[in-house]
Amino acid sequence: MKKVNTRYISEIKREKKKFSALTAYDYSTAKVLDEAGIDIILVGDSLAMVALGYENTNSISMDEMKIFTKAVAKGVSRAMVVCDMPFMSYHCDISSAIANIGEAVKAGANAVKIEGSGEYIYSLIKRCSEFGIPVIAHIGFTPQAINAIGGHYIQGKTYNATLELLEQAKKLEEAGAFAIVLEMVPEESAKYISENLNIATISCGAGRFCDGQVLVSDDVFGKYSNFKPKFARRYGDMRKLIYDCATQY
């Protein structure tokens, strides 16, 4: 069984196939997702809300992310494990960002995900590429900027906004990102962006035309009940299953 790597993701893009990505935060869930053939397992900072009960994703620390990344990496043999770099772990300066990204890799991540665009982010990604650390970029709705955005709003709604996202995506590609998450972007905009990039796009509420899709597994399995994104299709009712098992017990 071959481990999923950046080359595999590029091949999928070239051959116009699709890949799957889901979040996991613990050893046993990661093991099942890996056995089920999920290609990328993201230790998303969404774990702040769904696993730790925090109000938003910005409260989670690098030390916490490392613990969950270690647990997930232990459960996985085939999938690519991606650590979502938490808020303020990569913003202060390039050297502290690289030190934290290095910690994520030491914890077992095969790649990291960072949100945003702009000159600082492009140079950070460039440095990671020079050090052989694969990076997934993340644009569109970026949850770590929720306070500035002011809510869960769709991004790239107009033609000009789409062109702006495409320009950011091209710069992220040029800097060395091997894939880009497009979150809450209209399907047609995401299609246009995907068609004009050589690297893979990953839809998170950005429709069917990206090269892969990532969702929070607790949403897909019906386990997290505080909030349900409209774009996350439910494949089961795990909350009920756990409740029924617990009451029978």
Q: Which residues are catalytic?
A: 183
Least Å distance, CB 135 to ligand KIV, is: 14
Least Å distance, CB 244 to ligand KIV, is: 27
Contact 224, 218 (CB under 8 A): yes
What is the footprint of ligand KIV within residues 184-213 (CB under 6 A)? Answer: 204
Strand ranges, E, within the chain: 19-23, 40-43, 80-84, 111-115, 135-140, 179-183, 200-204, 212-215
Q: Which is nearer to ligand KIV, 23 or 168 (CB)?
A: 23
CA distances from 200 to 100, 169, 220 (A): 25, 11, 22
Q: Is the torsion defined by CA of 83, 150, 186, 221 positive or negative?
A: positive
With CA atoms as reference, report the closest residue to 22 among 219, 237, 224, 238: 219
- What is the DSSP secondary structure assignment for residue 59, as one 8-state letter? G
Which positions from 7 to 46 touch ligand KIV by CB under 6 A, shown as an x/- string? Answer: ----------------x------------------x-xxx
What is d(CA 19, CA 168) in angstroms, rounded to the nearest whole number?
23
With H, G, I as helix, E, B as strand and everything else as coil, classify residue 80: strand
Least Å distance, CB 246 to ligand KIV, is: 26
Least Å distance, CB 25 to ligand KIV, is: 9
214 binds ligand KIV (CB under 6 A): yes
Least Å distance, CB 245 to ligand KIV, is: 26
Q: Which is nearer to ligand KIV, 160 or 226 (CB)?
A: 226
The H-assigned helical ranges of 38-135 are: 47-50, 62-75, 94-106, 119-130
Residue nearest to ligand KIV (CB): 44
What is d(CA 211, CA 195) in angstroms, rounded to the nearest whole number?
10
Q: Which is nearer to ligand KIV, 2 or 39 (CB)?
A: 39
Q: Which is nearer to ligand KIV, 43 or 175 (CB)?
A: 43
Q: Which is nearer to ligand KIV, 87 or 192 (CB)?
A: 87
What is the footprint of ligand KIV within residues 166-185 (CB under 6 A)? Answer: 181, 183
Selected binder of ligand KIV within 139, 180, 197, 216 (CB under 6 A)? 216
Q: What is the CA radius of gyration of the chain?
A: 17
# of chain residues touching ligand KIV (CB under 6 A): 11
With H, G, I as helix, E, B as strand and everything else as coil, classify residue 70: helix
Interaction site with ligand KIV (CB under 6 A): 23, 42, 44-46, 84, 181, 183, 204, 214, 216
